[in-house]
Structure 1
């Protein structure tokens, strides 16, 4: 599946630091040090009701990580999936009377346009699950053959107990207790009450064909993939675990990332990732922004109202990536004002077109952002430089562009 166009990113003199990020699995800050190449997998959208600010916050966080890795001199291999067949998408298609494939294609194209407008660096491989049905079926067969999966009425489930090993144990990634896991499983697409399962938490690997639902032929029988297995398979094919970082929104910690890690370990014999990194939740009108509640602030609508996606980017970058926050119109107004002040400051630019050494501002921004991706601090550093009254150097504007994605 095609991605979106790459933004032009200036090359800065010198090199930034290896970024530190919060690893959910260890509950601590860790150096995101690549082993040669930085390998990043970020879970993508289910393409309906896109792109809201929660999506934007997640993909801008990992855009920041990619920019910092590149600035530190590393090659980055970045993969993102699209869950373009799943229960919520099919439900929305039925409700609206639109073919599910048309809905997925329309919303995916809108997502691409939003990401491009926000100057998000695209993944090297943007992979739809419908493009990898055969690979998923093969992986499920391998899990059945190894004893890590079993069949319940033609559906195939992952056997948590059989798959447990020194590489993966239930709870190792999320650090949740069983009661919390059971609650989230029921809330987030699992079926803990289904009879016949060996453990209520065992996740679905392959859903046998149901009347009125899309399905594909396979040695497992006609059907379609479960949710978590798709990311394990795509990560194995395109990135070869262990990944440097596996990322996504905080609502993916369990069950999605927990079981993607378990599937990957059972399939490959190595851990899925060195670090699991998650973004905070975005609220609106006092509630977590979600498709089910309908309290979405869509990037496309903000773009249509505002006309300058840089202000939307600044709204998001003003928040720390793993903090929960609430969107307000005041935040957007502040971002527009900030952008206006910065743009006026940029008209006074001096210095060489291609500076030989990093500016003071560049070094300060690099240090702030390498420390757990603190874009909020980096914005304040730029604010201070603007307020100082001194004219910006060309290297300052390049750094704001390269590290924050804001071209002045």
Structure 2
């Protein structure tokens, strides 16, 4: 199947569609920038990780062995500020919101990454990479800080297309730039690789003194350690193109002398009623707020996939209502077999509809065009819904039962590639009958495990409930609400 690969993807670095050819036959290495764990995940995070999950699933369907790595940034000024506000450690804040990430993202049917490296577990590799850059004269140390010297890397700006004058603002990333730091730099665009420790901040020993890593070097070190010097796909939100990904390229390619990634993929941003989502505008929407409406997680996933991943995605009540209706249509189609297979006398292992598969593949091969792929699914689902209505209201069996089975199995197969799965009605009845006292008991056990920081037990209990279609939503006030998945 891979030998016939027709997939073309848009490479942000070259700004054009390119045929997808991997570094090693049959294998894909893929790294996507993860969350900074200081708060609950919002709709923008949901979009990003649903998209990369879709890309991963599609490549696996093609027959590739995909190694997918997604980091957690657990060293950051925002994490530190929250820890100081709450009077706890930075590690406590990080662990709380790493756990919250999984609670929020798993109901959306996002598969776990193969590895979730944390910055705090990679300090040694970060320091080694900084030392390589120093040895090659791409970096310089000043009073306990280490900076990357942008002018030493002639290709700086090749991802974002920015000139030197455009790059000065924000080059150091999420570490505040003060007047003293400006005087230390050789060039205004130079960015921090290592920051000297400030009083009462967490710090690590290094050859340059006590301190902590800059933001950008973290991902370069983790990619290098887990996937190698060059990977197939590097993904992230469009807001990361500059400075984060631009600086990743500079660090990694200066140190290794090789391209960091063959393909750069960036998803578009999420807006709310046409405006940028932000807490200051009061339109900031978290995943758990949506799930707590309650809203079927598959509605959120469908809402995200109904727009091409590179385009902006506008969150409105009308859009969610439309996605809800769309999911009801798909869900009816996906449950068709469960409802009618005995009546229609279906045999097992019916073949899929090859013509429909080709339609789906033609859409998805065009830069992961999920709206085009969904159009194929909706056509199948609508036809199955019509046939179901005839069976229910007129009581007549179709003349071509085999064709209906082929359509249904094709729908289930293709929906699975997009991560859209309908729970059977039998399971839903079991969930509704799940003893509320038992739920309460499991929640209490989980809360006790969290109090003593037994996160492994907490995860096991959460997954036990998840298997029953029950998602726990933890709130800042310490309360926990329950969402029954449909």
TM-score normalised by L of structure 1: 0.89
Change over 3 Å in CA distance of 1:149–1:14 after alignment to 2 = closer
> In structure 1, what is the Cα distance between the partners aligned to 2:106 and 2:420?
13
Change over 3 Å in CA distance of 1:85–1:192 after alignment to 2 = same
- Summarize the alignment of residues 230-249 of structure 1 with structure 2, pairs less than 5 Å apart: 230-249=218-237
> Does structure 2 conserve the Cα–Cα contact (< 8 Å) formed by 1:15 and 1:71?
no
> In structure 2, what is the Cα distance between the partners aligned to 1:330 and 1:202?
45
Shift of 1:177: 2.7
Aligned position for 2:430 = none
2:166 aligned with 1:180: yes
Which structure's residues are more often helix, by fraction?
Answer: 2
Aligned position for 2:369 = 374
> Does structure 2 conserve the Cα–Cα contact (< 8 Å) formed by 1:15 and 1:73?
no
> Does structure 1 conserve the Cα–Cα contact (< 8 Å) formed by 2:171 and 2:190?
no
- Summarize the alignment of residues 3-402 of structure 1 with structure 2, pairs less than 5 Å apart: 17-35=5-23, 36=25, 37-164=27-154, 169-185=155-171, 189=175, 191=177, 194-290=182-278, 295-349=283-337, 353-388=348-383, 389=386, 391=404, 392-401=407-416
Change over 3 Å in CA distance of 1:241–1:139 after alignment to 2 = closer
> Does structure 2 conserve the Cα–Cα contact (< 8 Å) formed by 1:192 and 1:200?
no
> Does structure 2 conserve the Cα–Cα contact (< 8 Å) formed by 1:84 and 1:104?
yes
- Secondary structure, counterpart of 2:194 in structure 1: strand
Change over 3 Å in CA distance of 1:188–1:210 after alignment to 2 = closer
Unaligned runs of at least 5 residues, structure 2: 388-403, 423-486
> In structure 2, what is the Cα distance between the partners aligned to 1:114 and 1:26?
34
> Does structure 1 conserve the Cα–Cα contact (< 8 Å) formed by 2:83 and 2:89?
yes
Query: What is the RMSD computed on CA atoms of the aligned residues?
Result: 2.3
Unaligned runs of at least 5 residues, structure 1: 1-12
Moved more, 270-279 or 113-122: 113-122
> In structure 2, what is the Cα distance between the partners aligned to 1:272 and 1:158?
17
- Secondary structure, counterpart of 1:315 in structure 2: helix
1:407 to 421, 425, 440: 421
Shift of 1:236: 0.7
> Does structure 2 conserve the Cα–Cα contact (< 8 Å) formed by 1:249 and 1:278?
yes
> In structure 2, what is the Cα distance between the partners aligned to 1:214 and 1:285?
40
Higher relative contact order (CA 8 A, sep 6+): 1
Shift of 1:382: 1.8
Shift of 1:16: 8.5
> Does structure 1 conserve the Cα–Cα contact (< 8 Å) formed by 2:169 and 2:189?
no
Shift of 1:283: 1.2
> In structure 2, what is the Cα distance between the partners aligned to 1:131 and 1:381?
44
Shift of 1:384: 2.4
What per-residue deviation string (whole Å, max 9, x for no partner) do you get for residues 122-163 of structure 1?
Answer: 221110001101111121122112211112221100112223
> In structure 1, what is the Cα distance between the partners aligned to 2:280 and 2:125?
31
> In structure 1, what is the Cα distance between the partners aligned to 2:11 and 2:113?
21
Aligned position for 1:5 = none
What per-residue deviation string (whole Å, max 9, x for no partner) do you get for residues 353-399 of structure 1?
Answer: 44445543332222211211111222222222233445432122121
> In structure 1, what is the Cα distance between the partners aligned to 2:347 and 2:353?
12
> In structure 2, what is the Cα distance between the partners aligned to 1:213 and 1:339?
48
Moved more, 25-34 or 190-199: 190-199
- Secondary structure, counterpart of 2:54 in structure 1: helix
> Does structure 2 conserve the Cα–Cα contact (< 8 Å) formed by 1:244 and 1:273?
yes
> In structure 1, what is the Cα distance between the partners aligned to 2:29 and 2:211?
31
- Secondary structure, counterpart of 1:82 in structure 2: coil
Change over 3 Å in CA distance of 1:377–1:199 after alignment to 2 = same
- Higher Rg: 2
Shift of 1:299: 1.0
> In structure 2, what is the Cα distance between the partners aligned to 1:147 and 1:187?
21
> Does structure 2 conserve the Cα–Cα contact (< 8 Å) formed by 1:68 and 1:370?
no
